Amino acid sequence: MGKESYVIGVDYGTGSVRALLANAQNGNEIAVSEFEFPRWKKGMYCDSSKNRFRQHPLDYMEGLEHTVREVVAKADRGIVENVRAITVDTTGSTPVAVDSKGVPLALNKAFEHNPNAMFFLWKDHTAIQEAHEINEHSKKFAVDYLKYAGGIYSPEWFWAKLLHVLREDAEVAKACASWVEHCDWMPFLLTGGTDIREMKRGVCAAGHKALWSEAHGGLPPKDFFVQLDPLMDKLQHPLFTRTYGSDTIAGKLSPYWAEKLGLPINTLVGVGALDAHVGAVGGQIEPYYLSKVMGTSTCDMMVAPGGDGIDLIKGICGQVDGSIVPGMVGFEAGQSAFGDVYAWFQDLLTATTFKAIRDSDIHERTKEQLLEGISKGLLERLGEEASRLPLSMNSELAMDWFNGRRTPEANPYVKGALLNLNLGSDAARIYRALVESTCFGAKRIVEHFGDNNVPLKGIIALGGVARKSNYVMQMMADVLDLPIKVHNAEQTCAMGAAMLAATVAGVHQDVQEAMGKMGHGFRTTYHPNGDRTALYGKRYELYKSTANFLQDTCMGSITGQEDLR
């Protein structure tokens, strides 16, 4: 047992955190634990009508302790004694205001219930105005600081959220010494950091979300930010001067966290990264395969060897050296809403009924049985029914912009839509249209890469939707007219973090070797159905023309964006 090495990957998602203990040599899973964020589950500090989604750092800390201690408790002592490293991935851009010691302000009693002092979750869109201002402001400079971020800055990202909170909350602005990503804060916390100036910032989040690039000397200069708004002058500029790859050691586990987690004190902590990028590693990404992490949203990742000379691609979420696999260029695209669209529809179908049941005089146990019976497997049942429906050019059509558009050409103003409805448009038909719209949104991304001369070889699908919904995946293959390989790993992001931890520990010489040795391979491949592909191709053209009409006619006056033609 002592000859084996073990690692832990910790994966922070939107609603929960997972820890995975694995054999560092071969990737065999020893134990897994998941923890749902209690404050988030209650809807605390969020207001979806205002696009405000905040998370309390205590959810993160409690989740870390619970999951790691649980996987440790499930393992033999000999395994635990040989845990070599731990790496964390998180959603992003999910930044927070911290004091000079790197402590999130919400951990200070004066701010403990202030949403502005908490982490701004990736899908928080309260900074729409600030993102628009950054896009306009960048045009004044000779250097194009946005070009490595796809040319359009998003309200989901680092600087827009910082400017928003500085304007929104004078007390938070006064106490804020720096602004940090969740994936950078976790390693800092685990290593016992006490000086924000010593935090190691990962190139993954910095490059894709914070305008970092070696090509223009790191972050944009102080003048860029102060001319944007004098409020930015109070912060140290630049916030950081170096970035690090996810195969880099951030430090060793502090004595406090070693004891709290039940791990050896010499356990190494890796530099953090964004969940989708780490998921692509766990899913054994290959050059020119689009790795789709399919959950509440999608993040579409691609890597290309650094010497292939692909031109900068406008309208995506960044093109950064070493952001996914060190030594390769990482590309990110994605959809702002994917599984969230399906979840919205399920809530729409059940909310009124659920309220009536909860408010009724029915026995509590019967209430629970009714609620579970209605919700359990609802979307799967709808998918089975929808798969038997005939499809024509006149079938219901939907627009998937329920949380704006991320790629191509980020636009937070656009909205979802349902069209071609009639009195026969039942739940299955509308669900079919919603699934189709998310597949069309995915096709628009594939098409955008093709328009920029990137030769995609196929799709690697990861995440809960990919593993659980045959209906969605078969439609995706039919719409994209590409084979889709679904990865075997259930916890792909956590396994990717474990692979990075094994690289940090020196068990493998690089990330590519770790992927080859620890990867779980693929469970199935979905192949396109030629008959349906042809009809989906015609409906896709209708989707695009409808998208242009909606954007130009209904939303064009506020977006200032070009159409999709």
Distance CA 439, CA 539 (A): 11
Domain boundaries 339-453+529-559, corresponding CATH code = 1.20.58.2240
Q: CATH 3.30.420.40 in the chain, residues?
A: 6-283
* Secondary-structure class of domain 6-283 per CATH: alpha beta
What is the residue type of 558? I
190 contacts 253 by C-beta, under 8 angstroms: yes
292 contacts 338 by C-beta, under 8 angstroms: no
Give the SS3 label for residue 391.
coil
- Bridge partner list, 324: none
Sequence-distant (6+) residues with CB within 8 A of 553 are none
Distance CA 441, CA 434 (A): 11
pLDDT at residue number 66: 98
What is the residue type of 317? C
pLDDT at residue number 295: 86
pLDDT at residue number 553: 78
pLDDT at residue number 555: 60
Tracing tokens 């998937």 back to the chain, one arrives at 400
Distance CA 300, CA 316 (A): 10
Alpha helices, DSSP H, located in 262-324: 275-282
Report phi then psi at 104, rounded to 5: -55, 140
Report phi then psi at 284, rounded to 5: 55, 55
Tell me, yes or no, if the pTM score tops 0.85.
Answer: yes
Distances (CA, A) of 338 to 183, 295, 421: 23, 7, 21
Residue closest to 314 by CA, chosen among 153, 555, 142: 153
Q: CATH 1.20.58.2240 in the chain, residues?
A: 339-453+529-559
Compute the residue count for the chain: 565
What is the residue type of 277? H
Q: What is the mean pLDDT of each run of 10 residues along the chain (565 residues)?
A: 84 96 98 98 94 97 98 97 98 97 98 98 95 97 95 95 98 98 98 98 98 96 98 95 97 98 98 96 96 92 87 93 94 94 96 95 94 93 96 96 92 93 97 98 96 92 90 97 94 97 98 97 94 95 95 60 41
Q: Which two tokens stand for residue 402?
A: 């329920």
Distance CA 252, CA 193 (A): 11
Report phi then psi at 555, rounded to 5: -130, -5
